[in-house]
Structure 1
Amino acid sequence: MLRPRIIPCLLLHKGGLFKTRLFKEPKYVGDPINAVRIFNEKEADELMVLDIDATRNGASPDFALITKLAAECRMPLCYGGGVTTAEQAARLVDMGVEKVALSAAAIARPEVLTEMAAAVGRQSVVAVLDVRKRSGFFSRGYEVCTHNATIAHKLEPVVLAKQLQDAGAGEIVINSIDCDGMMQGYDLDLASEVKRVLNVPLTILGGAGTLDDMNDLVRRLGVVGAAAGSLFVFKGKYRAVLINYPAPEKKIQMCRDALQIEIRGSHV
């Protein structure tokens, strides 16, 4: 049976590990290889690594660095950044990456998801949607952005998530630009809207500041991936760098909460 996953998300920038706020102000927080080793020791459910430079710079994945990360990682590894073809996805999976994530390439050409699913299996194909609230008095709802939120698309995230699922994505990640690095909780309304239209796993990223935020997400949505960056690399109000991860008993309670949600949902 599926269970909720607690997923650290690491951002690669200029070869190092950084954390952003609102997709801006990248702050250096350490060496990515060292972070992977720590999360190994803490037995993280999964690890997401996103290269925030690759797509914006028109670069391919840094296969040399990914090889080192995959060799070190003892948990399922999801990598995203600069992936545009099924051939690249196959190469990454051969290197030990379990899931390959893409955003701009999937929006530009959704059929690449179909090609990737045929090459590596649908369970290894992840579509990431960076989403923010529309600005302006007469603008409501959300819009999807790419290239580190520098390009906005007139696309509804709920509709697009369903389309990308149908094209071949085996998992959808919703990353809230407005909540990124703010540590004030997930956008639960957006998460709920997207989950209603999907039948593949969903992961929510952006906004978690405490484990209570993750519990709120699970109690609202049931089985879902709860991803976070700042929560797992900062400690305290001064945001001192400290790699951390919840103890096993915390994860057990979250699983119990999710199971209750799923049971209630099945009887509705």
Structure 2
Amino acid sequence: MLKKRLIGVVTVKNGWAVQSFGYKRYLPLGKPECLIENLDRWGADEILVQVIDRSIDKLGPDFSLLEKIGRLGLETPLIYSGGIRSANDGVAAVQLGADRLVLDALLHDDHECIAELSHKLGAQALVAALPLSLLNGELRWLDYRTHTSSAISDKVLNLLQTGVVSEILIVDWLNEGGCGVFNTALLDTFPSQQLPLIAFGGIAGPTHIESILERASTMAIAIGNSLSYREHAIQKCKEALLGMPLRSPHYESKYPLLAHA
């Protein structure tokens, strides 16, 4: 059986890692490099670094942060999100160590750029982010730059179905920052069930995680806040989910003195 993944998320705003609540309130956590290094040694299957103020402020990707992360010598694949405006931006982020890129604003602005990135990097390197909510049973897609929501257009769905990206990050932005409150109806009502999905936003607790991963289309869960406060949080989570098609928990580490701390 194909293994599913647990992705650790580090949210960055104004250069600092933050605990985010619905992308409206933020609690500072410290230097992002420290959280990223913890996720690496605790055994995350992937690490998603989302820099949430780059596109809003039209700053482009945070290359300085990527350079700092590159010096950590991570063993875990890195996904980067934030400020990608062009194919050149995306290629530069990969050259600085990102294994994959999350695209959000470009889905609203420039489909040709997404196609170009897919041609240059391969679809496996691209993830499309869709912050979604439900209104009267209809999916609504948030543009976080303007805080307005609309229906997902056929143009966007057709683009995704052409295979230019490898996975869709379904973000429950209303419940982001909560505990065990991800709305699974977002997954069930998404119109393209054949596309691999990643669930993110308000996910916590073995029972809740199991209810999400049991869906055939859900290939990964992404968790941020609940992994930031406890040593070996990822291992404990996986141990509670033994029997699910997740990669096994492990305590081996390139930091030998900390492997069994």
Which bin holds the TM-score, normalised by the shorter protein?
Answer: 0.7 to 0.9
The Cα offsets for residues 149-198 of structure 1, whole Å up to 9 and x where unpaired, read as x432422389845533426122110101121111133211111232x624
User: Would the alpha carbon gap of residues 162 and 70 (structure 1) be closer, same or farther in structure 2, given more than 3 Å must change?
Assistant: farther
Counterpart residue number, 2:120: 119
Q: Which of 198, 203, 222 lines up with 1:203 in the alignment?
A: 198
User: Would the alpha carbon gap of residues 245 and 107 (structure 1) be closer, same or farther in structure 2, given more than 3 Å must change?
Assistant: same
Q: Is the 8 A contact 2:42 2:232 kept in 1?
A: no
Counterpart residue number, 2:70: 70
Q: Is the 8 A contact 1:132 1:178 kept in 2?
A: yes
For normalisation by structure 1, the TM-score amounts to 0.82
The Cα offsets for residues 85-123 of structure 1, whole Å up to 9 and x where unpaired, read as 111111111122111111111222222221101111110
* 2:138 pairs with 1:141: yes
For normalisation by structure 2, the TM-score amounts to 0.84
* 2:5 pairs with 1:10: no
Shift of residue 2, structure 1, vs aligned partner: 3.4
Structure 1 residue runs without a partner (length 5+): 236-241, 257-268
Structure 2 residue runs without a partner (length 5+): 247-261
* 2:226 pairs with 1:231: yes
Q: Is the 8 A contact 1:110 1:167 kept in 2?
A: no
- 1:185-196, aligned counterparts within 5 Å? 185-194=181-190
Counterpart residue number, 2:257: none
The Cα offsets for residues 99-148 of structure 1, whole Å up to 9 and x where unpaired, read as 111111122222222110111111001110111233xxxx5422111235
Identity %: 22
Rounded to whole Å, the distance in 1 between the matches of 2:117 and 2:11 is 23
- 1:212-231, aligned counterparts within 5 Å? 212-221=207-216, 223-231=218-226
Rounded to whole Å, the distance in 2 between the matches of 1:215 and 1:226 is 10
Q: Is the 8 A contact 1:7 1:47 kept in 2?
A: yes
Counterpart residue number, 2:47: 47
* 2:233 pairs with 1:244: yes
Q: Decide which structure has greater helix share.
A: 1
RMSD (CA atoms): 2.5
The total of aligned residue pairs comes to: 245
Rounded to whole Å, the distance in 2 between the matches of 1:193 and 1:162 is 17
Shift of residue 254, structure 1, vs aligned partner: 2.0
8-17 vs 184-193, which moves further? 184-193
Shift of residue 16, structure 1, vs aligned partner: 0.6
The Cα offsets for residues 191-231 of structure 1, whole Å up to 9 and x where unpaired, read as 1232x624443101011121321111012346511111122
* 2:96 pairs with 1:99: no
